[in-house]
Amino acid sequence: HAPPPLTRGVVLASGALLVSSPGSIWGMVEGDDCGKCELALCSEPKDCPAGTVLDRCGCCPECGNVEGQICDLDQGNHFYGQCGDNLECRLDADEARFGEVPEPQCVCKSQESICGPEGKTYENICQFNKAYATKRNISMKHKGPCESAPVISVPPQDVQNFTGNDVIFGCEVSAYPMPHLEWKKKGSKMFLPGDDAHISARGGPQKYGVTGWLQIQGLKKSDEGIYICHTKNKYGATYASARLKVIDGILCFVFFIWM
């Protein structure tokens, strides 16, 4: 059934904005009557993040819709626009299940990750193309994630707390292949947590890296020191450290009274 006229007008306006390129504006002015295609009258759209598609008249090139953008399920329709390179228009079945009116969206056909020339891993070819839309000449390094030595993206932070309280150090590492992550206290050869019951280490793999946490419960004055997150894979190793300061709870209380 057809949507009410007002809704249709609003949607049409936003649809026109999404695909606004010289080609499509020309097409809309012409209405459904496309007439003869004069390629010479088309203007080449520039820097389209998902490449170009043909406009509603099948004549001029216009920017294709990008990943996540609403699109026309039917190839013959030219309302929201057609998806660009490596993308297809799909209905999200999950949305319908949650009682929403499902909207067709451009989805990347491949979910294989891509290693960019600068060593950054992109989720898929569509994300890579979007990042390099203005530098079409640059090609990917290879399919799959970039292999690299670990880089600590979020290092542990200095903390202080009172005796008896708890602290947590975090360490977030990106690397591929999956790096190892270990904790040590400066001056000790032992890896933590060892057999010390008040210290525990947790963590888990991320898509291209690993995140680790070191928790120290019931702080003692002797816990004070520097804690180091060590990480390595076959391409290299690195570390980052943070200081733990343990404040004596009773001394501090006396200090506050005295103030």
Ligand X SMILES: *[C@@H]1O[C@H](CO)[C@@H](O)[C@H](O)[C@H]1NC(C)=O
Can you give the binding site for ligand X, defined by CB under 6 A? 137, 159, 161, 165-167
CB of 139 to ligand X, least distance (A): 9
Q: Omega before 177 cis (within 30°)?
A: yes
By C-beta, is 97 or 221 nearer to ligand X? Answer: 221
What is d(CA 198, CA 189) in angstroms, rounded to the nearest whole number? 18
Please state the φ and ψ torsions of residue 30, each to the nearest 5 degrees.
-75, -15
Residue of minimal Cβ distance to ligand X = 165
**For residue 127, which of 139, 111, 138, 141 has the smallest C-alpha distance?**
111
Smallest gap from residue 214 Cβ to ligand X (A): 12
- Nearer to ligand X among residue 110 and residue 134 (C-beta): 134
Q: Of 149 and 159, which has the nearer Cβ to ligand X? A: 159
Q: Is the dihedral of CA 180, 181, 183, 187 positive or negative?
A: positive
Nearest partner of 18 among 74, 79, 97, 60, judged by Cα: 79
Q: Do 200 and 217 form a contact (C-beta atoms < 8 A)?
A: yes
Contact call for residues 8 and 2 (beta carbons, < 8 A): yes
Nearest distance, CB of residue 44 and ligand X, angstroms:
15
Residue placing its CB nearer to ligand X in the complex, 194 or 218: 218
Both tokens assigned to 69: 């953008």
Minimum CB–partner distance for residue 161 and ligand X (Å): 4
CB of 136 to ligand X, least distance (A): 8
Q: How far is the CB of 166 from ligand X (least distance, A)?
A: 4
Nearer to ligand X, 8 or 245 (CB): 245
Check residue 147 and report its DSSP letter: P
219 touches 161 (CB < 8 A): yes
* Amino acid making up residue 79: F
Least spacing, CB of residue 210 vs ligand X, in Å: 22
Q: What are phi and psi of 12, to 5 degrees?
A: -60, -40
CB nearer ligand X, residue 8 or residue 136: 136
Identify which of residues 112 and 166 has a Cβ nearer to ligand X in the complex: 166
Tell the burial category of 69 from Cβ atoms under 10 Å away from its Cβ (0-12, 13-18, 19+): buried
